[in-house]
Chain A
Amino acid sequence: MSAKSPYPMTPEEVASYRAAVEALVAECLALIRDYPVERDADPVSERGQR
């Protein structure tokens, strides 16, 4: 089987897909950047999980 998809995309479809993926990545980055960075080298978030 070819590496190429049996359902090729037009340049417009690729551009649309790229825009959607980039928007998703930007949204995910924004969300995780809201998480507080903990000063402690043994973060509260990880205590009790080991």
Chain B
Amino acid sequence: MHTDHKRSIPLILLTGTTAIAVAVGLVLSLTSPPDAFQGDFARIFHVHVPSAWIAFLAFGFTAVGSLGWLIRKHHICDLFAASSAQIGVVFTGAAIISGSLWGKTVWGTYWDWSDKRLTTTALMFFVYLGYLAIRHATDDPLQRANRSAFVGIVGALQLPLVYFSVRLWRTLHPGTTITPGNIDMDSEMLRAFLANLFAFTLAFMTLLVFQIRLETARHESTQTETLPAGAGIEPPRLGQE
């Protein structure tokens, strides 16, 4: 019990720091000055871009975990990949919805299939939904890990395409606003954006730790449930009484 308490202290600290960071990010987003051209609509940038960043980070982690599974065949690699993919899908959904709402205010439309960034992001969303669906298609943990590891690695091949789509094809979606050495943004807006980027990254890390704990607990309970009938019963010791 004492050890459990000691082990949970870093997790409590991480969760508390995340809650504070998210609150600070929200306050800075709402109090930063409005954009000269887009006014308050530009505030969506503070939640849209960090959500998209987390999607890339999460799917990158999924690829690393999938590769780890294929090399080491250790179940924690598979659980890490699956946990990251699940969070990635949630944040991709958040990025798509917030982007659509921003698009409506700036472009006058929620969605445009001719835009390559929008289309490739939607494709990425559905590929990782497929990844999660594959995990529910079989009860065999080995088969599940092998199949999803394949999708986790192949799916990551589209990440550069999604990222560079705004450079390869000039359509509705704007190009990269912030690159190292070229920051075209007001200092207060930049501070709010960076605070949110940090808060979302912390939130992702916290959710990932808890998601891995959940998947591990589920994995362990499945292992116990799938023991062969009678495995826990000792045979009678005849002639020893």
Task: Answer whether A and B are interacting partners.
Answer: no
Q: Please list the residues of chain A having a beta carbon within 8 angstroms of any beta carbon in chain B.
A: none
